[in-house]
Structure 1
Amino acid sequence: MTATVSLLAKSFGVCSSIGNPARFPPVFRYAFCSANINPVKYVTTEASGPPKRPMNGYTRYIHQQHPLIASQYPEMKVAEIIRKLAQQWRMMSPEQKEPFRKACLLGMEQYKLDVQKFKAQLSPAQLQELATKKKMRLKKRKAIQRKLELNRLGKPKGTRSAFNFFMSAQFLEAKGDNIPAKLMSLMEDWKNLSSHDKKVYTQLAEDDKIRYKNDMELWEDYMAEIGREDLLRLSKSKN
């Protein structure tokens, strides 16, 4: 039941709104040298899992500078600090970035040694399980990257069911003190809704199918124009 509610909440797209952060103060002046950079902290092998990859140069810079900025500007939000540090990183010269990159290389060398030690203590079955988990992580990462790419390219959103439209219309008035309770209440209301009352939502779902079909045709035509035939549906690419 909990899984059903979670799935419904995900499909419904219930989320909190985030306001735009205020404008930042003038660009911080910063100075540093290789002596100011924190020494490389090697990750020791833990029995609970494999060693973690070390931070790259950019992440090391953020990790080191964030506490300094936060102490100087306690009123600034975390997102504002990260954005400002990212701007500083882009403005830095290769020479200024070099100490952080060197620290990253040292961390990678130690990481490889830690991985070898970790794998040496595993059985063949554990090694196979480790390889399987790695494949799953890579597959998940590729799926996320593909989704982000499709969003960036403006792929139309998928169709919504009649129940989705019903939830959108009735969610605020639904019974329950929290989202799962409201969703469970809406499920029960939908089951008890008459066929006549469901027609309006069914029609909205049918109209949405037409919207999706038209939007996808326009989008795929555009993808073909820019040379992204790999994103076309199989039936469309054959034509």
Structure 2
Amino acid sequence: MAPFSLISAAVGLVGRSFSFSSFSGTPFRCTSIFSVNINPVKSLTSQTSGPPKRPLNGYMRYVMQQKPVVMRQNPELKSVDMIRKIAQQWRTMSPEQKKPFQDASIQAREQFKVDLQRYQALLTPAQLQQQAVEKKQRLAKRKAIRKKRELTSLGKPKRPRSAFNIFMSEHFEEARGATTQAKMKSLLEDWRNLFSHQKQVYTQLAVDDKIRYKNEMKSWEDHMVEIGREDLVREQTLSTRKTAAVKAARAKKTKSKTAKKTARTSKKSVQNTTKSSSAKPARKGSTSKKT
């Protein structure tokens, strides 16, 4: 009996020999001898590398369908302009025109739920826990990105640069090395070889930048408090402002108490003076009567 490897090689040779030209001259190639039914839906039982992908919504389905069409009609159009053009088409479509894409999205979403349940059923408790941790990390990363974009749009000042960062930004272009990492390494070596008086220039620039950051942050945080965005103000600043407010309130209260006490003392003094002045004539009158 022939070895299995020889049989496989023979079958492959026969399959390749079926590549020939038809009578009309059009090339024809038979890719397989046997008829095989292939399921277009990938089974999740074989997807051990990761979970199923989330389905596209109706709009993204329309974009994926129209992208090659618009590309053929406008080959010189940039990707950004092409997406903008497709988005404009989507906005002008009627609900009936959008319905097929939205219905396909709903069906894909239902299939995704089934596929996800099948996938999760194959995972161990440790893998499920790992997925939960990764999901938490992704959400935290997205939240940090959104917050950074918000702070940038609100004009938050840039953090102060260190002396080495200022040195590196000034000499990065002429630094040795072909890659960014190599240039940074060479700049670090140059920085370490500088004399103290040479570093002093960048140290002073860093001090000035720190003062700039402190002043700009104070103005920015005051503005954030004015517009009701105290959630963006640093905890240290809030604590300092709260302490200052408490001290001011105490000073105001003490001042008010002192003013009230002074007023009462003055009033009492005036009353005593009035009584004494009104009592003196009475005594004179009584003395004359006795006489």
**What is the CA distance between 1:53 and its match in structure 2?**
0.8
Q: Does 1:190 align with 2:191?
A: yes
DSSP 3-state at the match of 1:160: coil
1:117-128 map, 5 Å = 117-128=118-129
1:150 matched to which residue of 2?
Answer: 151
Q: Does 1:73 align with 2:74?
A: yes
1:53 matched to which residue of 2?
Answer: 54
1:133 matched to which residue of 2?
Answer: 134
1:19 matched to which residue of 2?
Answer: none
Q: CA RMSD, aligned part only?
A: 1.8
1:104 matched to which residue of 2?
Answer: 105
Distance in 1 of aligned mates of 2:96 and 2:163: 59
1:86 matched to which residue of 2?
Answer: 87
- Contact 1:43–1:51 (8 Å) recurs in 2: no
Bigger helix share? 2
- Contact 1:42–1:111 (8 Å) recurs in 2: no
2:238 matched to which residue of 1?
Answer: 237
Distance in 1 of aligned mates of 2:61 and 2:220: 40
Aligned-residue sequence identity (percent) comes to 59
Letter of the aligned partner of 2:178 in structure 1? D
Letter of the aligned partner of 2:181 in structure 1? P
Q: What 5-or-longer segments of structure 2 have no aligned partner? A: 1-39, 242-291
Q: Does 1:207 align with 2:212?
A: no
**What is the CA distance between 1:236 and its match in structure 2?**
2.2
**What is the CA distance between 1:203 and its match in structure 2?**
1.1
DSSP 3-state at the match of 2:228: coil
- Contact 1:156–1:216 (8 Å) recurs in 2: yes
1:17 matched to which residue of 2?
Answer: none
- The structure showing larger relative contact order (alpha-carbon pairs under 8 Å, at least 6 residues apart) is 1
Bigger-Rg structure (1/2): 2
**TM-score normalized with structure 1 length:** 0.77
CA offsets, 1:25-65, max 9 Å, x none? xxxxxxxxxxxxxxxx9675322011111112222222111
Distance in 2 of aligned mates of 1:220 and 1:85: 42
**TM-score normalized with structure 2 length:** 0.64
CA separation of 1:110 and 1:203: change in aligned 2, threshold 3 A: same
Distance in 1 of aligned mates of 2:74 and 2:56: 25
CA separation of 1:171 and 1:198: change in aligned 2, threshold 3 A: same
Q: Does 1:180 align with 2:184?
A: no
CA separation of 1:126 and 1:154: change in aligned 2, threshold 3 A: same
**What is the CA distance between 1:93 and its match in structure 2?**
4.1
Q: Does 1:219 align with 2:229?
A: no
User: Is 174-183 or 143-152 further displaced after alignment?
Assistant: 174-183
Letter of the aligned partner of 2:64 in structure 1? H
Letter of the aligned partner of 1:136 in structure 2? Q
Letter of the aligned partner of 2:223 in structure 1? Y
CA separation of 1:42 and 1:111: change in aligned 2, threshold 3 A: farther
**What is the CA distance between 1:209 and its match in structure 2?**
0.8
Distance in 1 of aligned mates of 2:81 and 2:87: 10
Distance in 2 of aligned mates of 1:169 and 1:132: 41
Distance in 2 of aligned mates of 1:86 and 1:195: 59
Distance in 1 of aligned mates of 2:223 and 2:168: 33
CA offsets, 1:171-207, max 9 Å, x none? 1111122322211111110111111111111111111
Distance in 2 of aligned mates of 1:199 and 1:87: 57
Distance in 1 of aligned mates of 2:223 and 2:94: 39
Q: What 5-or-longer segments of structure 1 have no aligned partner? A: 1-40
1:64 matched to which residue of 2?
Answer: 65
Letter of the aligned partner of 2:210 in structure 1? K
